[in-house]
Amino acid sequence: MQRMISGQGHLPRLGEHERAEVGNELQAELVELVDLSLLGKQLHWSVVGPHFRSLHLQLDELVDSWRELSDTVAERAIAIGAAVDGQARTIASDSPLRPVEPGAIDDAVLVRELAARLSETAERTRERAERVAELDPPTEDVLIEVIRALEEQLWMVRAQLPPHHG
């Protein structure tokens, strides 16, 4: 259940039900983006193989992007009067992302794993945007911004996958 920030006047015109629903969707998005950034750092530290350097640098760029997007999402939640929780225990308990095993990860495996998680996150973000579309169009716009970024990143990661044979 989404907590609301008390004592704030001049909030956007949303009913309490709409504010809670939109706040829940934004909290879920925040959790996923924060976890994606943590996962990206883990991969950044763990990549090995011939494409180490390019992936190492690309992962830093992706992590920066996911952190910026999570900030945008959290700020939208606060703007509508919803509380956010980006603490480690919340991320660990609420994120739908599959973790990666610690230790070295081959560059080709990393690209497949990263593409899969980006694809899943983009799809869940799309579903969240559809759910908030009628409740709060400005929040839908924020989530569309996230979708655009994730899908562009997915395209760039997928381009590194070997061609499928067979």
Nearest to 134 by CA among 17, 39, 5: 17
Question: Where are the domains positioned within the chain?
Answer: 16-158
Looking at residue 166, what is its pLDDT? 42
Looking at residue 103, what is its pLDDT? 96
Pairing of strands 47-48, 105-106: parallel
Evaluate whether 69 touches 142 at the Cβ level (below 8 Å): no
**Mean pLDDT for the stretch of residues 51-68:** 97
Read off the pLDDT of residues 108-164 as tens digits, 9 standing for 90 and up. Answer: 999 999 999 999 999 999 999 999 999 999 999 999 999 999 999 999 999 998 887
**According to the CATH classification, is domain 16-158 in 1.20.1260.10?**
yes
Nearest to 159 by CA among 7, 37, 8, 55: 55
**Mean pLDDT for the stretch of residues 75-95:** 96
15 pLDDT band, cuts 50/70/90, is: confident
User: CA angle, corner 72, sides to 131 and 115, nearest 5?
Assistant: 70
Q: Given the structure tokens 């924020």, which residue do they identify?
A: 142
9 pLDDT band, cuts 50/70/90, is: low
